[in-house]
Amino acid sequence: MTDPSRGAGRSGRGPGRRPGPTETREEILAAARDLFAEKGFDGTSLRAIARAAGVDPTLVHHFFGNKEGVFVEALRFPMDPAVVLSRVASVPRDQAGELMVRTFLEVWRDEERRSPLLAMLRSAMTNERAAALLREFITSVLFSRAGKAVDAPPLRIQAAAGQLIGLMILRHVVRVEPLASASEDELVDIVAPTIQRCLAS
Amino acid sequence: MTDPSRGAGRSGRGPGRRPGPTETREEILAAARDLFAEKGFDGTSLRAIARAAGVDPTLVHHFFGNKEGVFVEALRFPMDPAVVLSRVASVPRDQAGELMVRTFLEVWRDEERRSPLLAMLRSAMTNERAAALLREFITSVLFSRAGKAVDAPPLRIQAAAGQLIGLMILRHVVRVEPLASASEDELVDIVAPTIQRCLAS
């Protein structure tokens, strides 16, 4: 719901001064996080986010492009799916698997980029609402985009995603050896053919 | 620590009557759960479990065979790794991947058998001690046994396990479509070659 006092209240400034762009951006993200948590990805519109943040929808569009863009920022998703997938689509078809694996390994390498992914997965495993949010986001965005980028059936893309998720859990959560300490090249050797096979048929 | 009053105290019976086999078995499992949670898999001996349950070690051996057997029962692990792996080792090498995938899909099909697996994974994702317990169990038991049964390097076995874990999460936790509703045969078609490739090289 629109709450005109929200901007001023949150940033602790008095009335009569307009919030700066950074504060407005943060207000929008805070409103978006609340709405995504409450209504899910599909149930949240860019217009509703703008309304909850008390700003004009064109401003949300200006900052984040579209609803995916807000989601990616709001949940600190560590990579922009559009960027990753256009990279994957730009290499020769027989290198798509390797590029995909290398991209994920690179994101996981950095704890700051890895932890929002793990947090999202952890929430989904313990909370049905969080599971629904993740389900809707990956269905609406990741898998449908990935399907267009690589022209593979959804079930195969999801099997590939399963391989990457399981690998991340064993490497960074359970930290089983030798997987936890294996080099990225060793993992690419083993896993890239799986992803390639999933994406290529 | 040994607590002679434990058997009688837990089951609420008066002194002077010996607990029956079912009660003793449950006492041992309760003691084992406590010890595994506190000391991890590697830090817990069959002898320590017997001591904590106030029984003779031969009795623990009699009920559960070995420490793995106690663990599998105590944490309601839905399959006996020894049985699964001897099945896998008994089929022609080029069918090992398919048999492994079918075995897991069969276990997951039944919510009662699936939920202890998910509970274990969920705990590991939210609690470092639970992660260590799972790490030690799968390192000491699953992967070293699997390595002997199928003669594949640990890193490949772990990549295969990653594929299965990720598949389980997407199918039964995130429940993304079409993966959540796909038939077991469809999943075998996609995933068995991955597992086969991991186990066979």
Contacts of B166 by beta carbon, 8 Å cutoff, 6+ apart: A161, A162, A163, A164, A165, A166, A167, A169
Q: Name the residue among B86, B80, B70 with its Cα closest to residue B34.
A: B70
How far is A168 from A103, CA to CA, in rounded Å? 13
* Global pTM value: 0.79
Identify residue B98 by its one-letter amino acid code: E
B17 falls in which pLDDT band (50, 70, 90)? Answer: low
Residue B83 has pLDDT above 70, yes or no: yes
CA distance B107 to chain A (A): 18
Identify residue A74 by its one-letter amino acid code: A
- Percent of chain B surpassing pLDDT 90: 41
Chain A residue closest in CA terms to B195: A194
pLDDT value, residue A10: 40
CA distance A14 to chain B (A): 41
Residue B174 has pLDDT above 70, yes or no: yes
pLDDT value, residue A17: 59
Domains of chain B (ranges; CATH) run 21-74 (1.10.10.60), 81-199 (1.10.357.10)
pLDDT value, residue A28: 93
Enter the ipTM. Answer: 0.78
Cβ–Cβ gap A158/B170 under 8 Å: yes
Chain A residue closest in CA terms to B177: A139
3 state SS of B38 = helix
Residue B68 has pLDDT above 60, yes or no: yes
CA distance B190 to chain A (A): 7
Contacts of A107 by beta carbon, 8 Å cutoff, 6+ apart: A78, A79, A113, A114, A117
pLDDT value, residue A155: 92
Bigger pLDDT: A16 or B10? A16
pLDDT value, residue A18: 65
Query: Are B136 and B144 spatial neighbours (Cβ–Cβ below 8 Å)?
Result: no
Cβ–Cβ gap A190/B155 under 8 Å: yes
Cβ–Cβ gap A158/B179 under 8 Å: yes
Residue count of chain A, please give it.
201
B18 falls in which pLDDT band (50, 70, 90)? Answer: low
pLDDT value, residue A170: 94
> Nearest Cβ partner of B174 from A134, A182, A197?
A134
How far is B164 from B193, CA to CA, in rounded Å? 12
Cβ–Cβ gap A169/B166 under 8 Å: yes
How far is A156 from A171, CA to CA, in rounded Å? 23
Query: Are A75 and A116 spatial neighbours (Cβ–Cβ below 8 Å)?
Result: yes
pLDDT of chain A, 201 residues: tens digit per residue: 444 434 433 444 445 556 677 889 999 999 998 888 778 788 889 999 999 999 999 999 999 998 888 888 888 777 777 778 788 888 888 898 999 999 999 989 988 888 888 888 888 888 887 888 888 888 877 777 776 777 788 899 899 999 999 999 999 999 999 999 999 999 999 999 999 988 875
Mutual angle of helices B21-39 and B67-74, in 10-degree steps: 90
CA distance A114 to chain B (A): 14
Q: Which two tokens stand for residue B124?
A: 């590991």
Helices (H), chain A: 6-11, 21-39, 46-53, 57-64, 67-74, 81-90, 96-109, 111-126, 128-137, 144-150, 154-168, 184-200
Stretch B24-39: mean pLDDT, rounded? 88
CA dihedral A111, A115, A121, A125 (to 10 degrees): 110
Q: Name the residue among B198, B100, B105, B121 with its Cα closest to residue A163.
A: B198
How far is A36 from A74, CA to CA, in rounded Å? 9
- For tokens 């990753």, the residue is A84
Chain B residue closest in CA terms to A174: B131
CA distance A187 to chain B (A): 8
CA distances from A42 to A38, A46, B53, B165 (A): 11, 11, 53, 27
Identify from A101, A121, A163, A198 which residue to disrupt to test chain B contact, counting B C-beta atoms within 10 A and taking the largest count: A163
How many interface pairs between A and B have CB atoms less than 8 angstroms apart? Answer: 129
How far is B60 from B30, CA to CA, in rounded Å? 12
Residues from chain A that touch B167, judged by Cβ atoms under 8 A, are 159, 162, 166
- The DSSP symbol for A142 reads I
Chain A residue closest in CA terms to B163: A163
How far is B159 from B137, CA to CA, in rounded Å? 17
Cβ–Cβ gap A173/B138 under 8 Å: no
How far is B201 from B178, CA to CA, in rounded Å? 31
Kindly tell me the sign of the dihedral angle through the C-alpha atoms of B197, A142, A127, B106. Answer: negative
> Nearest Cβ partner of A166 from B155, B166, B173?
B166
